[in-house]
Structures are given as structure tokens and as C-alpha cells.
Amino acid sequence: MPVPLTFKIHHKSKENAARTGTVTTPHGSFRTPAFMPVGTRGTVKGLTPQQIRATGSDIILNNAFHLMLRPTDKRIAELGGVHAFMKWNRPILTDSGGYQAWSMADINTIDEDGVTFKSYIDGATIRMTPEFSIEIQNNLGADIIMAFDDCPSSVEPQSQNLARRRHALTTRDGVLTENQHELRLLQSLDRTARWLERCDVAHQKKDIQALFGIVQGGVNLDLRARSVEQVCNVDLPGYAIGGVAVGESPEKIVEVVKFTANLLPEEKPRYLMGVGYERDLVAAVASGMDMFDCVLPTRNARNAHAFTKNGHLNLRNACFKDDIGVIEEGCTCASCAAGNSRAYLAHLFKCKEMLGGTLLSIHNIHHFQSLMIDIRLAIEDNSWSALPKRWPVLTMS
Amino acid sequence: MPVPLTFKIHHKSKENAARTGTVTTPHGSFRTPAFMPVGTRGTVKGLTPQQIRATGSDIILNNAFHLMLRPTDKRIAELGGVHAFMKWNRPILTDSGGYQAWSMADINTIDEDGVTFKSYIDGATIRMTPEFSIEIQNNLGADIIMAFDDCPSSVEPQSQNLARRRHALTTRDGVLTENQHELRLLQSLDRTARWLERCDVAHQKKDIQALFGIVQGGVNLDLRARSVEQVCNVDLPGYAIGGVAVGESPEKIVEVVKFTANLLPEEKPRYLMGVGYERDLVAAVASGMDMFDCVLPTRNARNAHAFTKNGHLNLRNACFKDDIGVIEEGCTCASCAAGNSRAYLAHLFKCKEMLGGTLLSIHNIHHFQSLMIDIRLAIEDNSWSALPKRWPVLTMS
């Protein structure tokens, strides 16, 4: 049977667990470590595929949950799949919809067979199971698809208020005690393992779509180890770490990722889901992770938040009204290269003009892609320790 | 003194009063008849200058009124002028702000010296006079600037309800009788003439900015003739027809434009302000008009309204959900050339994704620019009568 994905490692850092490589899919290759901009509903908000490509992006992420609801995965299949739908003829990854089904819907219940939730479009009751998630992703036709997992909060009960903002907690019965929390995590791990096997059985396009399993386990390293063992028990083209950056401290993220990455098979791509800020990415690469996605560059862009090597700027601040400089001196993104000033962007955000979000999304994605380029160079040159000098933002809190 | 604008006529139609030509400004040339997309606040909504340029646009329009309020004309002057501000290094035209000052503000009064209105930004009372409008436009630095005129509704009293939707009526005292309406029009004409002289005197950058006078007079041909005489009494690089397409019938538009254009100096560019649909443009070109601006292609695009040679489409209609075809078969706009389907655009509009407005604005502006190209060809080939065959929309109501 043809392989849907190959991963070739080019270089391993002498300084840490980082590596560079190339992942090849039916829609082309991408260099790793790779950053994937998020195109939730089949569009990276406000950017044409040409503009996305010009940021240096090789692969993007779409959300199966949103596309299943609208325009529906069946319609996208009829239209030729998600690549043809959004005219992005390079690699695409879809998430499984599990996280959204659990965290975004107003009413949902989870049981051994799947998640039941109400559609935010029309209130219809939708039953999402491992088999249904894979069917959706088979219909969408992305190059990399994700297992449907049970994903409870990874944070300790005392951090629940923090977590609640980003992630629905673990039961409908309210706040859990610490002991209940541990039990729920354990339940979710074992269920995730059972669901992964169901996903693998249900997957109908193994020749052209690579299914990745997802390791859970929260911040408990014993549970992470248990999850790695269970998930890697299914032979898959790649593995992901989920349930990270949902409210825990940066130090905890590093600890969990470092511990878990080291247990994953070395010869397969490792994907850290939904992470994160620049320093989180750099720490995760140093731990041996290869792929990343995050809404930060685009979501923050629409809120006038600019990423630069020297730190973050809010372009709504009054000080930028008269600032003739580009967002970042020396930046080669399409916006800075065209000379768009901070003053112009500040004006666009002040007037709620959509071009502001577009230009700043271009800059911010380009920022993350530039970081990935420098990360890859640092690995190949064994110059890892020089990275923070070129990226002062890495040492800022 | 250097001339801010030259107009060279290349060809005159043998079939009607249409002509092709080239207008040259300090920021380059544009072919006429020319269509100018509207970039209200220093941005054609959702489009980068590269995307605007790719539609075939040579010149764009900015609104002095909006830019004066935010970020202010003084700030734009400090930032190097409106070309540098929005990174559009080709010709720009600014309107005077008179129309907006009168029609958009909640509270305003008009007298012999100018218009007083409240800012929609902070409620501040602003006094706009001919001198102040020219100062604003001198600060903005567009290549073509417009006289500040008194612009009452051009329509008859019986059409006032229609007009009221688009254009504030002529006094704060409510609806006018037919006789009062005529008197008000006459007053506005004579005042416009006096204000034009004040604009001309106030204009500080005659070497690099071309001031255009504006002919008013509503649908009354006698008043139009009187206004032409008054306005052309000031020797200017170009003249415009204002107060058209504010509620009157297409036949009235044609009658007024044909009558008025014929009275304007032949060797200078003639600009029909704020018009219009495709057939309005074609009729106006046949009457001898050279320049046009209209918000239709962009404003309608943001409402999912597509312009095509074969008529208009609303991409929110359910029939497009599964339509794999591009917006318009054979269209060479960046969106159709990339293959974006009607189904994809329908999805973007359904999800309120900003990329929908961007892609359709690109298509719609390209549609108008393609019409202008074909119009210019038809003039030069003396094949005017073949235009409706290539553009069936011209014969649709």
C-alpha cells in the first residue's frame, strides 16, 4: 500500500533533542520544525492562499468541527476536497473536532461511545464518535488527519478557573476534587486509546491521508508515559501531544513536552498541538517536537497585536499614531516590505478597517515562519545558543 | 508654473461623443475613460495596493471628509501625504468632503460661508469652508482635488423619499415645495460658483495638485447650463458633474449627463461623480465623460453581490452552495483565475469570513475595469454598437 506520509530527518542538534527534517505528503513537502497557521473554516482569516504562501507557510490547519457544520464535509467532498475548496494545493492537516465538540458547544455529554453536542448553527443534536470524526476527515481529504480523542483539562483542580476560560472541564457535574480529577484523566487516557483503535479501523484512506494519534495525560508524567505506550501501540505515520497550553505554566509545558517527546518514536514526526508563544515553540523544538499550530499570530493580529523579534506591540497604542516606521525594522514580510507604517496600521485598526487584520496577520505569520527558519538553521549549524540573541523576544516574559 | 495634470485625447468615437485619452499626474498616468475604486479611509476595504493594482485600477479615490476626521489630514501630511500613507504610488483623487459633511452628519447647517456639522467620531463641532476643504486636500496631497460645493438634492420634490435615503435634503426645515426646491437649487448654484472662486484662491499647491470644479443643477437643464458657465469661468485642469445618481431615473441621468457633458470644454477631462451601474457608465462615456468613481463594486461585494457580464448574482443564494464554477466563466480576475468557486465564496459569506468580501471586491473592481478596457477598445475600433453583445448586462434592467 502506498504510504501517505514520509519523514526524513536531515540533522540532529548536538546541543539538545531538536532535529530538522522534511515531511512529504500527497500535496507536497514541508520542512520541519514546521509552523502551521490556522485556517479554521477553510480560510486563514482575511488572507488569500497567495498571501498565506508569501508568509513562508508550507502547511496549514483546518478545523474539521467547523467545516463539518458548515459547509459540511459532504459538500466539501463533492467539491473535490478541502484543497480544491480553498485553493491551497499544499499540505493540509485537519484536527478531529474532539476538542471543539467538547469545549465550544453549549450542551454536550461524553460517554464511552462519543460526544453528543448541539450545533451552534441550528441547534441540531450531533453525535460525534471516533468513526464519524474519521468519516468527516476522510471527506475533507486533508493530508494529515487527527485521532478523535477524549481530551479533559490537563491542569490541576486548583487551576480550574484559569483552565475554564479556555477549555471545558471534565464533567457536567461541576468542579472535581483532586482525586476525581486524576480518575477522570485516567479514564480519558484509556478511552483515548480505545478510540484510537476505532479511528484506525474506521480510516478509509490510509494510502493518501496520514492518521496521527494523540497523547494525553495532562501534567501528570506517569499518565503521559502510560498514554504514549497506549497510543504508540497503534502503528501510525505520526504522533501528537495534546492537552498542553490549556492553562498551565510555561515551565510545566516545557516539563511535560520534554518528558513526553522523548518517549515518542524518533523516526516519526511529532506534533505539539495548539502551542504557542515563541519561547514555547523553541523549548518544544529543543525537546524534539517537529510540528506546531497556533491561532496566536492570526487571532492576535485581528486585535492589533504585533509580534516582533524584540517583543510584542499593540498597534492601538497612541504612540504609534505618528510612527512612520514599519511594524518591524528589517522585516521582509509583504506588509513591511511594502512599507506600511505603524501609523497606517494604527489608523486601520482605529477605523476597524479589515485591511488592518490582513496586513498584521501577514506580518505575524511571517514572524513565526521566520522563527522556524532560524530554528532550523540553528539546529543545522549547531548554533542553538545563539538563537535568543537573534530573537530577544525569547528571553522576555 | 508646472502643470499638475495633462490630458491627451487619443481617439474620438465616430459614433457618439466618447473619447479615449491619457491623464498624466505627478504620480503617473491613467487611461480614460477611467474607473476609480473608492478607498474611503485610505484603504479600498480589504484589499492591499497590490490587489487593487491587479484589478487593473490606475487611480483610486479617497474621501477627504473621513480622513480629515481620522487620522486627520495634518497627520497624513506629516506622514508624507496620502500616497505614502496607504502605499499607493499611483494617481489619487480626493473629494472635497462637502457631500459627506452635508449628508452624513447628524446635525449640520449651511450658510454662505460653509457647513457646520458634528464629528461622528467625538461629536466635536466642525466648520467646513471652501478654504478649509482645500487646506485639507492640500495636506492629503492627492493628484486631483475637488472643489467644495453646495450640493443639494438634484431630484424633484416628488422623489424626495427616494432621495432621502441617499442624500440629505436641502434644508433643515423639512420637505420643500417645488418652488422652494427650484429656489434652493438656484441658490446652491450661485453659491457653488462663489465657493469655487474661493477654492481656487485658497489652493496652495497648483503645481502638483489639479483642482476640478463641479457642475451642479439637479435635473434642470437650464440650471445645469448656468452652472457650467459659472464653473468653467474659472480656468481649471478639469471639471466634474455632481449631483447625479442621487435618486433620479436612469433616463434622467442620461439626459442630464448628455446635456451637461456637451457644454464642458472638450480638451479637459470630465469626471462624473459617484456613478454608477455599468449601463450608466457606458451612457456617460457615450456622452463624452472620462472619469468615474463608485462604491458599487466594493460595497456590493461585501454584501455578496457579484457583477458579471451576464448580470448580477447574489452569492448568498442557496443555489450557489454546490456550484463548483468560478464567479464568472472566463474571468481573469485574481479570484477567478485562482479558481475560487461560487460554492467557496458562498461559504465565506455564510460564515461572515472577511476573505469573501476581499475576493469578491477583487472580482467586482476587475469587472468594472474590464468594462472600461472594452469601452476604450470600442471607441478606438469604432465598434461601440458591439459592446452590448459582449456585455449582456448592459441590456438588462
Instruction: Categorize the per-residue pLDDT at B100 as very low, low, confident or very high, splitting at 50, 70 and 90.
Output: confident
**Least confident window among A74-83, A229-238, B93-102, B332-341:** B93-102
- What single DSSP character describes residue A394? G
B95 is catalytic: yes
Q: Which regions of A74-222 does DSSP assign to beta strands (E)?
A: 92-95, 108-110, 115-118, 125-128, 144-146, 210-215
| Pick from B181, B94, B189, B201: nearest CA to B151 | B189
- Does B119 have pLDDT greater than 90? no
| Residue of chain A with shortest Cα separation from B82 | A344
The amino acid at residue A38 is V
DSSP calls for B317-374: SGGGTT--SBSSTT--SHHHHTT-BHHHHHHHHHTT-HHHHHHHHHHHHHHHHHHHHH
Of residues A43, A79, A324, nearest to B348 (C-beta): A43
| Residue of chain B with shortest Cα separation from A48 | B355
The sign of the CA dihedral B37, B39, B45, B51 is positive
- Across B320-339, b (16+ Cβ under 10 Å) vs e yields bbebeebbbeebebbbbeee
Alpha-carbon Rg for chain B in angstroms: 20
**CB–CB of B136/B97 below 8 Å?**
yes
Angstrom distance (rounded) from CA B39 to CA B295:
9
Angstrom distance (rounded) from CA B209 to CA B134:
11
Min distance B352 CA to chain A CA atoms (Å)? 10
> What ipTM was reported for this prediction?
0.94
- Does B219 have pLDDT greater than 80? yes
Three-state DSSP at A328 gives coil
Catalytic residue among B95, B149, B150, B290: B95
Q: Which domains does chain A have, with CATH numbers?
A: 6-294 (3.20.20.105), 296-392 (no CATH)
* H or E element, residue B193: helix B178-202
Residues 6+ apart with CB under 8 A from B245: B253, B274, B275, B276, B280
- Does A1 have pLDDT greater than 60? yes
The sign of the CA dihedral B339, B343, B347, B348 is positive
Angstrom distance (rounded) from CA B307 to CA B365:
9
Of residues B43, B334, B350, nearest to A353 (C-beta): B43
Integer angstrom CA distances of residue A254 from A251, A294, B69, B213, B347? 5, 16, 49, 68, 39
DSSP calls for B84-117: HHHT--S-EEEE-SHHHHHHT-SSEEE-SS-EEE
Of residues A322, A344, A354, nearest to B46 (C-beta): A354
Choose the mutation target among A48, A66, A88, A341 for the interface with B, i.e. most B CBs under 10 Å: A48
A347 and B49 within 8 Å at the Cβ level: the answer is no
A340 and B43 within 8 Å at the Cβ level: the answer is no
A358 and B353 within 8 Å at the Cβ level: the answer is no
Grid look-up 499611483 returns: B90
Q: Model-level pTM?
A: 0.94
**Average pLDDT for residues B283-305, to the nearest whole number?**
98
Instruction: Categorize the per-residue pLDDT at A34 as very low, low, confident or very high, splitting at 50, 70 and 90.
Output: very high
Of residues A80, A85, A355, nearest to B45 (C-beta): A355
Pairing of strands B28-32, B34-36: unpaired
B374 is catalytic: no
Q: C-alpha grid cell for residue B186?
A: 438656484
What is the predicted pLDDT for the residue at A169? 40
- Does B105 have pLDDT greater than 70? no
Collect all residues of chain B within an 8 Å Cβ-Cβ radius of residue A41. Answer: 347-348, 351, 353
Three-state DSSP at A8 gives strand
| Residue of chain B with shortest Cα separation from A50 | B338
Integer angstrom CA distances of residue B189 from A260, B56, B65, B94, B180? 79, 36, 22, 22, 14
How big is chain B, counted in residues? 397
How big is chain A, counted in residues? 397
- Does B169 have pLDDT greater than 60? no
Angstrom distance (rounded) from CA B285 to CA B257:
10
Angstrom distance (rounded) from CA B332 to CA B349:
22
Three-state DSSP at A214 gives strand
Question: Under the phi-then-psi rule, with left for phi > 0, alpha for psi from -120 to 50, and beta for the rest, what region is B175?
Answer: beta
Q: Does A358 touch chain B (CB under 8 A)?
A: yes
Chain segment A179-228, per-residue pLDDT in tens: 887 888 899 899 999 999 999 999 999 999 999 999 999 999 999 999 99
Instruction: Categorize the per-residue pLDDT at B159 as very low, low, confident or very high, splitting at 50, 70 and 90.
Output: very low
DSSP calls for A256-303: HHHHHHTTS-TTS-EEETT--SHHHHHHHHHTT--EEE-SHHHHHHTT
Residue B141 — φ and ψ, nearest 5°?
85, 25
**Least confident window among A162-166, B284-288, B379-383:** A162-166
A87 and B358 within 8 Å at the Cβ level: the answer is no
- Does A172 have pLDDT greater than 70? no
Choose the mutation target among B38, B45, B48 for the interface with A, i.e. most A CBs under 10 Å: B48
Chain segment A290-323, per-residue pLDDT in tens: 999 999 999 999 999 999 999 999 999 999 999 9
